[in-house]
Chains A and B, each alone.
Chain A
Amino acid sequence: MRLRASGLSRRARREHGRVQAMLPGYLDGELGSGERAQVMSHARTCDRCRGVLLAPPSVARMLRSVATDPPPGLVDAVLLRLAQEGAMPGAARIPSGDGERGVQRTRNGTGLGVATALIACSYVK
C-alpha cells in the first residue's frame, strides 16, 4: 500500500520525518546498514520519499557516492609503465618482479614506490 505524507498516522508521520532527515546521508552513502534499510523500506511505500530518491540530482548524487577511489599506487604504476615502454636507456633494467603483470601490481604495491623513485622522469619519446 502506498502512503501519502498528508494522510499518515502520527506514527507514520514520525517515521516519514525521520527518514526524510536521513535522505541526505543516504544519498551520500553515509548511513549504516540499519539506517539504509529503514530508508529503503520506507521509500517503497512513500511516494514523496521515493520521488526524492528518483529525482535526477539525487540519482547523480547517489552514483557519485559509489566510490571509485583509485587503487593505491596508481600514479606509480602509470609512471612505471611510461618508463618501461619509453625505451629509455636503463628502463629495461628495472625488474617488474612479476612478469607480464609487472605494472599492475598496485594493489599489493610491492616495491613500486622504490621502482618509481628510480625511474621517475626516465622515459623518453
Chain B
Amino acid sequence: MGLASRSLCASGTGHHLDAARERVSDERALVERARQGQCEAFDSLVRVHAAGVYAVVSRLCASADEAEEVTQETFLRAWRGIAQFKGDCQLFTWLYRIGVNEALRRNQRRGPEVSSLDDHRGRTPADSRPTPDLDAEQHDLRLALDTAVRALHPDYRAPLILRDIEGLGTLEAAQILDLSEAAFKSRLHRARSAVRDAVGAYLGDGA
C-alpha cells in the first residue's frame, strides 16, 4: 500500500468533483474542522487514511480480522483525541502512531510469538490474501520474506515496516515509534539483517 495509499480519492462529476477535491485538498483544514467536532470532516480523513493505517497494522497483527479491528480502534481513538492533535507532525504520522501502539499492545497482551522462521513457514500472512497460485507455492521467496518479517519481534518488525515497506523517512518513522533516531536505526539494522539471513538461508547459501 505505502505512500500511494495516502493519496486522496474523490468521486463524482463536474462541480461536485471539484467541490470534493477542494474539500479534501487541505488536510489541515479538515483536521481543524474535525477538532471542532465536525464529523463529516473526520469522515474525509478516514477515507484518505484508512487503507494506509490498515497496511501498516496488518503486518503487525496476527490476523486480517485483528488488523481490521485495530484500524477501527485507531480511528475511534483519533476521533476522541483529535483535540489533542497539535499539528506538529503530519496527520498520518499521528494515526500510524496510534495504530502501531494499539497493534503492539495487542501483541504484548497475546504474549511472545514464535520466533523461529521454520515455525512460521507455511503460515498464511495475516493479510497477504494469496492467490490460489501463491497458496500452492508456500516456498516462494516473496512469501518466505513475508514469513521472515513476521518472525521478527514486533519491536524490530515495526521499524522495518515503516521504513522499508511504507517508505517513511527515518525521522518520521522514529517519531511514530517514539524512538530516538539512533535507536530506530539500530533496530532497523537488526531487522534487515535478520530478514536477509533468513532469506539467504532459504536460498540455501547458509547465511
Query: Could you list which residues of chain A lie within 8 angstroms of chain B, going by C-beta atoms?
Result: 26, 29, 32-33, 36-37, 40, 43-44, 50, 53-54, 56, 59-60, 62-71, 74-75, 77-79, 81-82, 85-86, 103-104, 106, 120-125
Contacts and interface: CB of A to CB of B under 8 A. Distances in A.
B40 interface: yes
A104 B72 CA distance: 9
A120 to B, nearest CB: 6
Contacts of A123: 39, 79
A29 B40 contact: no
Q: What 6 A-B pairs have minimum CB-CB distances, sorted nearest first?
A: A60-B164, A81-B72, A121-B40, A70-B54, A70-B51, A68-B55
A54 B199 contact: yes
Contact of A59 (B65, B75, B164, B205): B164
Interface stretch (B108-116, B139-147, B171-179): B139-147
A74 B71 contact: yes
Q: Which secondary structure dominates chain B's binding surface? A: helix
A90 B24 CA distance: 27
Given A33-B137, A79-B43, A120-B43, A59 B199 contact: yes
Contacts of A69: 1, 127, 129
A40 B199 CA distance: 12
A40 B141 contact: yes
A81 B195 CA distance: 36
A90 to B, nearest CB: 13
Interface string B165-207: 1000000000000000000000000001001100110011100
A98 to B, nearest CB: 13
B19 interface: no
Contacts of B64: 71
Contact of B72 (A43, A50, A65, A78): A78
A36 B46 contact: no
Given A43-B203, A64-B165, 13 more contacts: A26-B141, A36-B137, A40-B140, A59-B192, A59-B195, A63-B165, A66-B125, A66-B128, A68-B127, A82-B79, A85-B76, A104-B69, A121-B39
